[in-house]
Structure 1
Amino acid sequence: MYIKQVIKRYGILSLVFLATLQSCKKSRSDIGAVLFKETKNKVFKKVDSAAYYKVFSEMLATSKDSLSSPQLIENFYKQNNYEPYFIVNFVPKEQLRHLAERYSQASSHGLNPEYFHYSEIKTLTDKIYGKKNIKTKEEAYRDIARLELLTASSLISYSTTLQYGLVNPRKIFARYYMKTEKPDSSFYKKVFAITDLISFLDEVQPKDPSYIKLQEALNNNFVYAGLSPQETKKVIALNLERLRWKNKPATDRYVWVNIADYTLKYVEDGKTNLSMKVCVGKGPDQEPELADYDESEGAVRPHNHQTPQLNSEIYNVQVNPVWNIPESIAKGEIVDHVRKDQYYLANNNIDVYRNGKKVDNDNIDWSEISDGTYSFKQAPGDDNALGKIKFQFLNASNVYLHDTPAQAPFMLDVRAVSHGCVRLEKPLDFARALFGDGEKYNLVKKEVAESTPTSRDIALSEKVPIYLDYVTCFVDDNGQIQI
């Protein structure tokens, strides 16, 4: 009747306009028909889509706090008239069963399946596929809505965890400054564009060879010599998480320092062209992954002088460096030495400065000075704490790689002895790797050998990426797992 009145009053153009408005509305699925066809449960034939949409919208509103990316999920369903995207698309051919099956295998990644609501999704999936499990329409509405929400939320968290990690490393390491990529909105939105569920789950599986090797070891109950099965499992799980963090080298040429293993590698075109021992920042406990990682608090407590985790670019080599002694070392060590030995400064070639000007330390009453009054610099020479070469890269912690006159620590298995910088076993070899044979490297060798050393900066023609990382379990160049 209404349409006849519209035609009579406004003509055929109005009818065309009304038809256009109707066509602009997104069509809605017959949810009940889809589910009945797959399960043969007659209750689904009674399902009213409009009644379901009401239940779903209410459940979405009350469940947001428990969802991953709740705003993204809410926006998607609002824009799509609360259509059950995953139920309609993946209940057919029992595709949705693969989701619970995949979550059940999360332990192969060192992850708890319950992070992804495995038990509840498995229960709801089995219930929906059962021919007589759901008895009433009201029960159907609730279960369909709950499974739809859990599927959306868990796919977001599962894909994000495998591709970017479960935890934010900055929240568990006090001295973590590595550039670490995080997912953006386009990554999250891929979940709502899935057309093949199994292919998507396969796609988010990490492909890194080291990750796969550690994953296989975890699945095969590998036990590392000297560790218990439980300790081995924990270390592998922690390092699988580390491998999921997107902070790895993306260039063919880079320097990688493993703080935990006290080693440096110079890598070019995927091959390790140089490796050496290093000494790193000291702490009272050298097994922080096992001793300091508190799962209840999710935190690694930092030790004083720990070498920070960071990435930067080596841009400069300083030959015969001057050591500007940090205030923390000056007040904690240098002043105490001077109070005990009046010749300490002269014997160690250390000059004293006040307000940027060099002063005569014989006129200083060391018993009465306060912190920060004086600064200290050690001149170039054989006894300089930085040795003959310092390799510089920008970082907020003011650490660098350097030579050292203290060679004995390189004979130790545990080489956590520095104030935070990284001491190199073979600094000249490292300089050669960075510069290559030629004029600049020859200049480095010449300056190092000078009997009256003068500090000199020599810039790299091309900056070289450097990563100071902390990895307690890795696959070595021979394909063997090391812990």
Structure 2
Amino acid sequence: MKGRIGIICLFAILLGSCREHVPNPNTELTLSYYDDLRQREDHITSFKVKEALDSMIRNDNDSMLVDRRVKGYYLRHQPFVWINRKGVDSRADTLLAHLQEVDSIGFSEAKFRIPLIRRDLRRMRSLDFDKRNTASKVAARLEYNLTKAYLRYVCGQRFGFVNPTDVFNRLDLKKTDSQAKIYRTLFDLKMDHPDRKFFQQALCAVQPDSLPAFLNSVSPSDPYYLRLRRIYLDKTMRQRYGAKRLMINMERCRWRLSDYPHKHRRFVLVNIPAYHLWAVDGEKSLTMRVASGSLETKTPLLSSYVYCMDVNPQWIIPKSIVKKSIAHRLSTGYFRSKHYFIRERATGRDIPVSQCNRAMLESGDYLVIQEGGEGNALGRIIFRFNNDFSIYLHDTSSRGVFRQEDRGVSHGCVRVEHPYELAMFLLGDGQNKMAEKIAYSMQADVSPLGKKAEELTDEQRAVADTLKRNMLVGRVKVEPKVPIFITYFTLWPSAGGILQRYDDVYGYDQVMAVWLANYWKETTL
């Protein structure tokens, strides 16, 4: 009993001594005491990350489509894509592994923020934070830069880094007034463009089980792209063909068009810089020189289907040519020498030249038409395909153009060197009788056709009596229709498959280089 009393007394003495000699240091604490704890460098909060993201957006001057999409996503305070409560996981490594490819296609790693991403990944994973590089700031930089690099890469590989519809269709001014500028359509190839749905799909794909497959799916698979890339990776070949030229033509292969020549066994392809046409039927091919639109009246890039051939076509002369070259020469003698006649547009009635004046021709209410046959500007045959520009392939009465190196001479149509051979290609096998009719019609003097007896000259009367009218043919259907592609490549294989360099006749390579400079290495510039 005495022992218990002694222990109680001792405990009471100790408690008394604690109260007397060790005062409680926490009795005067306020909320400000915890500020340092909330601002520790290795502490991540959603608020601080979003605050850092807002600062990055304000200081980001990039203004391309992808950049605007990235900014818009985070300004709407959408969920984080790459970071979570555990930091950054293996998805960032998956993306970096694919981004290694940008160097192999001539692009700068810095343009895809790869060095910044690597640096901040090391900081995050080694917990290397300080007051300037807090965990929240590092997390924000990783979130923003990973998203920006990812969308730049997948959008560029899937649709191209240059949008040709926007770029080329704002080059040549057609006309302007006080309200608007109207440009010529130079690029009319149907292709895919990135839209909101694609960006949503891309962001939703940033999951461990779907990211690798999505990154693989956007890589270009065009056979010609793969060939050019292999050449680019060979230093000797890259120097031979030129790094810029290779990269520009690789970019053309990234555009996901609605149709491609390699999807067809039989097709016609015109490459404007080469001034050449290729007609391909499996292993067989036909090639010939062509003349295309001049620098002022460029031939539009397009694809369509050749559906018919017209033998000895009339030429309805464009209004621009009438105003520039014909109206001021209005006379019966001049029109007779050129085989021109005038037709009222509204009624379809032919009008004597003596009853017309210059103002009538320039009004557009009257058509100037050149008769079909020998001397017609369209030659003896025309190959028609649907398009919005009244563009077609045709023969020509000016055969000397094919001896020129620079064959950019037309108002937009494509003149072909060997029209009969092209007609036979389009006609196909087993059409011997029609082939004979086309050959006869292209050689015959058809000047008497369509004229009244009293309008014929003595020479035309003599010709009319000898014409084999049962051998004459006008329109010939092409069945099945044959795909045609009017393209623009300054590197393109010859008939023997050897890659050839061609001049940038319309300056399109220069235009593309300006846009691609946003991604190129400094050594490429």
Question: TM-score interval w.r.t. the shorter chain?
Answer: 0.7 to 0.9
- Deviation of 1:363 after TM superposition, in Å, equals 4.9
Distance 1:234 1:84 in 2: 34
Distance 1:86 1:117 in 2: 21
Q: Which residue of 156, 168, 171 maps to 1:173?
A: 168
Distance 2:416 2:334 in 1: 26
Distance 1:344 1:354 in 2: 19
Q: Which residue of 1 aligns with 2:488?
A: 470
Distance 2:192 2:426 in 1: 27
Q: Which residue of 2 aligns with 1:256?
A: 269
For the structure 1 residues 348 and 233, does the alpha-carbon distance in structure 2 shift closer, same or farther, using more than 3 Å as the test? Answer: same
Q: Which residue of 2 aligns with 1:289?
A: none
> Counterparts of 1:96-135 in structure 2 under 5 Å?
96-97=92-93, 99-100=95-96, 102-103=98-99, 105-129=101-125, 131=126, 133-135=128-130
Distance 1:326 1:150 in 2: 54
Distance 2:98 2:166 in 1: 28
Q: Which residue of 2 aligns with 1:481?
A: 499
- Deviation of 1:104 after TM superposition, in Å, equals 5.4
- Deviation of 1:421 after TM superposition, in Å, equals 0.3
CA contact (8 A) 2:80 2:143 kept: no
- Deviation of 1:329 after TM superposition, in Å, equals 1.0
CA contact (8 A) 1:213 1:475 kept: no
Q: Which residue of 2 aligns with 1:377?
A: 369
Distance 1:89 1:382 in 2: 79
Q: Which residue of 2 aligns with 1:298?
A: none
RMSD across aligned positions (CA) = 3.5
Distance 1:162 1:424 in 2: 36
Letter in 2 for 1:282: S
CA contact (8 A) 1:316 1:458 kept: yes
Distance 1:482 1:178 in 2: 23
CA contact (8 A) 2:322 2:362 kept: no
Distance 2:208 2:98 in 1: 17
For the structure 1 residues 99 and 350, does the alpha-carbon distance in structure 2 shift closer, same or farther, using more than 3 Å as the test? Answer: same
Distance 1:305 1:214 in 2: 30
Q: Which residue of 248, 265, 269 maps to 2:278?
A: 265
> Counterparts of 1:419-438 in structure 2 under 5 Å?
419-437=411-429, 438=431
Q: Which residue of 431, 440, 445 maps to 2:439?
A: 445
Letter in 2 for 1:390: I
Is 1:208 the counterpart of 2:218 in the alignment?
Answer: no
For the structure 1 residues 153 and 127, does the alpha-carbon distance in structure 2 shift closer, same or farther, using more than 3 Å as the test? Answer: same
Structure with higher Rg: it is 2
Distance 2:277 2:404 in 1: 16
- Deviation of 1:98 after TM superposition, in Å, equals 5.9
For the structure 1 residues 140 and 416, does the alpha-carbon distance in structure 2 shift closer, same or farther, using more than 3 Å as the test? Answer: same
Is 1:240 the counterpart of 2:250 in the alignment?
Answer: yes
Q: Which residue of 153, 161, 177 maps to 1:158?
A: 153
Q: Which residue of 249, 272, 280 maps to 2:292?
A: 280
CA contact (8 A) 2:291 2:409 kept: yes
- Deviation of 1:435 after TM superposition, in Å, equals 2.1
For the structure 1 residues 268 and 231, does the alpha-carbon distance in structure 2 shift closer, same or farther, using more than 3 Å as the test? Answer: closer
CA contact (8 A) 1:97 1:125 kept: no
Question: In the comparison of the two structures, how many residue pairs are matched?
Answer: 405
Which deviations, in whole Å up to 9, do the C-alpha atoms of 1:263-290 show, x marking residues without a partner? Answer: 1122344x4622221110122xxxxxxx
Distance 2:315 2:225 in 1: 41
Runs of at least 5 residues in structure 2 that lack an aligned partner in the other structure: 1-39, 61-66, 170-185, 450-472, 502-525
Distance 1:107 1:178 in 2: 29
Letter in 2 for 1:210: Y
Answer with 422-431 or 441-450: which moved more: 441-450
- Deviation of 1:348 after TM superposition, in Å, equals 1.7
Which deviations, in whole Å up to 9, do the C-alpha atoms of 1:364-386 show, x marking residues without a partner? Answer: 55599755364210111111111
Runs of at least 5 residues in structure 1 that lack an aligned partner in the other structure: 1-42, 284-303
Q: Which residue of 1 aligns with 2:317?
A: 325
Q: Which residue of 211, 216, 234 maps to 1:220?
A: 234
Q: Which residue of 205, 208, 223 maps to 1:195?
A: 208
Answer with 319-328 or 214-223: which moved more: 214-223
Which deviations, in whole Å up to 9, do the C-alpha atoms of 1:411-469 show, x marking residues without a partner? Answer: 22221121110011121221222221326545433433443266822222222222111
For the structure 1 residues 55 and 157, does the alpha-carbon distance in structure 2 shift closer, same or farther, using more than 3 Å as the test? Answer: same
SS at match of 2:445: coil
TM-score when normalising by structure 2:
0.67
- Deviation of 1:62 after TM superposition, in Å, equals 5.8
SS at match of 1:452: coil
Answer with 440-449 or 428-437: which moved more: 440-449
TM-score when normalising by structure 1:
0.73
CA contact (8 A) 2:120 2:138 kept: yes
Q: Which residue of 328, 331, 341 maps to 1:351?
A: 341
CA contact (8 A) 1:86 1:151 kept: no
Distance 1:251 1:63 in 2: 49
Report the identity percentage.
Answer: 27
Which deviations, in whole Å up to 9, do the C-alpha atoms of 1:111-165 show, x marking residues without a partner? Answer: 3434422343233233324x25224698112211221232123212201101210
Which deviations, in whole Å up to 9, do the C-alpha atoms of 1:303-339 show, x marking residues without a partner? Answer: x221111122222211110100001111112235x26
Distance 2:284 2:47 in 1: 61
